[in-house]
Amino acid sequence: MTLSTKVQWITEELDSLKQAGLYTNIRTLSSPQGAWLIVDGQKVLNFCSNNYLGLANHPRLVEAAKVAIDEYGIGPGAVRPIAGTMELHLELERRLAAFKGVEAAISFQSGFSANLGTIPALVGSDDVIYSDELNHASIIDGVRLCKARRLIYKHADMKELEDRLKSSRDARNRLIVTDGVFSMEGDLTPLPAIVELARKYNAVTLVDDSHGTGVMGEGGRGVAEHFGLLGQIDVITGTLGKALGGAAGGFVASSAQVIEVLRQSSRPQIFSNALPATIAGSALKAVEVLEADPSLVAKLHDNTDYLRRGLRARGFNPLDAPSAIIPILVGETAFAIRMSERLLDEGVFVTGFGYPVVPEGTARLRVQASAALEREDMDRALEAFVRVGGEVGLL
Ligand SMILES: Cc1ncc(COP(=O)(O)O)c(C=O)c1O
């Protein structure tokens, strides 16, 4: 019996995705990240990468990656506690901690592994985790790996979170986990209320600031800066693969004690190779560039505002939120995919998301702003939105 006969269900699953118009056509790039990309051989405007500050191909970051490869070679060749810790990791971690206004930080291979490796390290079987229902998949999976009791609360519903905290007073330790910026909605967690509830009920707060780092706050220090709460989130997780250069890698920023426990016992730290030197070098440079020149963040904020206002003025109704994620709800998944394909024909690269990434009936186009974009790029894209929106009957 061949493998394809043994797993016939996979063929059927793929066929049914195609028939339902839910199959994702994965595009191939042959250019660096920037305002423009070459996608499947076509030059298009980029409205769907996480290169929020336009640093992914910045000459100083590229140079820093080259210097790191010259000094340290291709990779660590080991996990952190064996022979994988380089001076460059420690420098990056000191810099990230200072940037986030906390005592210490530790790098991970990705933002995904930062969540997977941190959440289970902070709670045990006598503890309770409170998790927003719209949290990112890496938080959901991190929570699933825990032995603690899991209580999910409705998205950003502080009344329900408080009810859950009250109903579990017997817990030994409590951990509230939430995205800082929700990746499909673009909205922010109600951080001031979370911090207050955490104080009242003696809970630890963990905020995934992947879409907030480099984006929120005047200095791009994240959602804590946006809300005037720098240094008041207990544990921040995040990625180095979005605003901070867009390569890969993640981090956790917290107290020296929490970071030490992750260093000693977080599974991705002790069972998976350390972050490659090139990425440590470019991410370190990204923080330096950002700290020296916060005007990049101001440009991102301006561009986000311009796109949001431009879409509204042309009859679209994007969800209202202060982040650089601008979702336009269109209804059915097949419709979102068709629209993104038509936009690509028009030279505008925007991703359509549908079920199961977002609830059924709430498929959307997710427009992402970037400081790499210029006004004429955005005007050109807005006109394409009008053409396609009119053609498919959305306007
Ligand atoms: C909120 C959030 N957390 C974590 C991640 C994972 O980050 P990485 O791509 O570095 O694994 C992502 C990426 O999509 C994200 O949006």
Decide which of 277, 292, 307 is a domain's last residue.
292
Decide which of 261, 292, 323 is a domain's last residue.
292
Average pLDDT, integer, range 220-233: 98
In a domain, 35, yes or no: yes
What does the radius of gyration of the chain's CA atoms come to, in whole angstroms?
A: 21
In a domain, 8, yes or no: no
Residue from 48, 134, 136 whose mutation best tests the ligand 1 pocket (most atoms within 8 A of CB): 136
Confidence label for 60 from pLDDT (cuts 50, 70 and 90): very high
CATH number for the domain harbouring residue 322: 3.90.1150.10
Confidence label for 1 from pLDDT (cuts 50, 70 and 90): confident
Higher pLDDT, 360 or 134: 134
pLDDT of 357 reads 85
pLDDT of 267 reads 97
Q: Answer whether residue 386 shows pLDDT above 80.
A: yes
Average pLDDT, integer, range 363-388: 97
Residue 192 preceded by cis peptide, ω within 30: no
Q: Answer whether residue 21 shows pLDDT above 80.
A: no
In a domain, 9, yes or no: no
Average pLDDT, integer, range 202-229: 98
Which strands make up the sheet holding 348-349, listed edge to edge? 36-39, 42-46, 348-349
Confidence label for 24 from pLDDT (cuts 50, 70 and 90): confident
> Counting atoms of ligand 1 from 1, which one is nearest the CA of 181?
1
Q: Are residues 244 and 196 in the same domain?
A: yes
Distance CA(55)–CA(64), nearest Å, equals 12
CA atoms within 13 A on the CB side of 199: 7
If we measure between CA atoms, which residue out of 116, 174, 184 comes closest to residue 146? 116
pLDDT of 162 reads 98
Residue from 52, 131, 138 whose mutation best tests the ligand 1 pocket (most atoms within 8 A of CB): 138
User: 210 CB less than 6 Å from ligand 1?
Assistant: yes
Q: Are residues 224 and 270 in the same domain?
A: yes
Structure tokens at 50: 């996480």
Average pLDDT, integer, range 47-73: 97
User: Rounded mean pLDDT of the chain?
Assistant: 96
In a domain, 16, yes or no: no
Q: Are residues 193 and 248 in the same domain?
A: yes
CATH number for the domain harbouring residue 277: 3.40.640.10
Are the C-beta atoms of 109 and 249 separated by less than 8 Å?
yes
Query: SS3 letters for the chain?
Result: CCHHHHCHHHHHHHHHHHHCCCCCCCCCECCCCCCEEEECCEEEEECCCCCCCCCCCCHHHHHHHHHHHHHHCCCCCCEHHHHHCCHHHHHHHHHHHHHHCCCEEEEECEHHHHHHHHHHHHCCCCCEEEEECCCCHHHHHHHHCCCCEEEEECCCCHHHHHHHHHCCCCCCCEEEEEECECCCCCCECCHHHHHHHHHHCCCEEEEECCCCCCCCCCCCCCHHHHCCCCCCCCEEEEECCCCCCCCCEEEEEECHHHHHHHHHHCHHHHHCECCCHHHHHHHHHHHHHHHHCCHHHHHHHHHHHHHHHHHHHCCCCCCCCCCCEEEEEEECHHHHHHHHHHHHHCCEECEEECCCCCCCCCEEEEEECCCCCCHHHHHHHHHHHHHHHHHCCCC
pLDDT of 393 reads 86
Annotated catalytic sites, by residue? Answer: 183, 211, 242
Decide which of 270, 292, 314 is a domain's last residue.
292
Q: Answer whether residue 70 shows pLDDT above 80.
A: yes
Average pLDDT, integer, range 147-156: 97
User: 46 CB less than 6 Å from ligand 1?
Assistant: no
Higher pLDDT, 337 or 20: 337
How much distance in Å is there from the Cα of 134 to the middle of ligand 1? 14
Distance CA(222)–CA(212), nearest Å, equals 5
Counting the structural domains of the chain, the total is 2
In a domain, 124, yes or no: yes
Q: Are residues 153 and 38 in the same domain?
A: no
- Residues of the chain with pLDDT > 90: what percent? 90
Residue from 210, 211, 353 whose mutation best tests the ligand 1 pocket (most atoms within 8 A of CB): 210
**Residue in the block written with tokens 């043994």:** 6
In a domain, 10, yes or no: no
Question: Residue 370 corresponds to which amino acid?
Answer: S
Q: Are residues 273 and 249 in the same domain?
A: yes
**Residue in the block written with tokens 């790098």:** 107
Q: Which domain holds residue 318?
A: 22-52+294-391
Q: Are residues 322 and 236 in the same domain?
A: no
Confidence label for 75 from pLDDT (cuts 50, 70 and 90): confident
pLDDT of 93 reads 98
Q: Are residues 258 and 115 in the same domain?
A: yes
User: 185 CB less than 6 Å from ligand 1?
Assistant: no
Distance CA(188)–CA(203), nearest Å, equals 20
Q: What is the pLDDT of residues 241-281, one digit of tens each?
A: 999 998 999 999 999 999 999 999 999 999 999 999 999 99
Confidence label for 8 from pLDDT (cuts 50, 70 and 90): very high
Q: Are residues 237 and 151 in the same domain?
A: yes
Q: Are residues 175 and 87 in the same domain?
A: yes
Confidence label for 305 from pLDDT (cuts 50, 70 and 90): very high
Please name the residues in contact with 115: beta carbons below 8 A apart, sequence gap of 6 or more.
136, 138, 139, 141, 142, 208, 237, 250
pLDDT of 203 reads 98
Q: Answer whether residue 19 shows pLDDT above 90.
A: no
Of the listed ranges 219-223, 255-259, 319-323, the one predicted with least confidence: 319-323
How much distance in Å is there from the Cα of 61 to the middle of ligand 1? 21
pLDDT of 22 reads 75
Q: Answer whether residue 220 shows pLDDT above 80.
A: yes
In a domain, 17, yes or no: no
Are the C-beta atoms of 350 and 46 separated by less than 8 Å?
no
pLDDT of 4 reads 85
**Distance, first Cα to last Cα, the chain:** 53
Q: Are residues 214 and 252 in the same domain?
A: yes
Distance CA(367)–CA(379), nearest Å, equals 14
| Phi–psi pair at 313, nearest 5 degrees | -60, -25
Q: Are residues 225 and 301 in the same domain?
A: no
Residue having the nearest C-alpha atom to atom 15 of ligand 1? 210
Q: Are residues 315 and 211 in the same domain?
A: no
Higher pLDDT, 4 or 67: 67
Q: Answer whether residue 158 shows pLDDT above 90.
A: yes
In a domain, 106, yes or no: yes
Average pLDDT, integer, range 118-139: 97
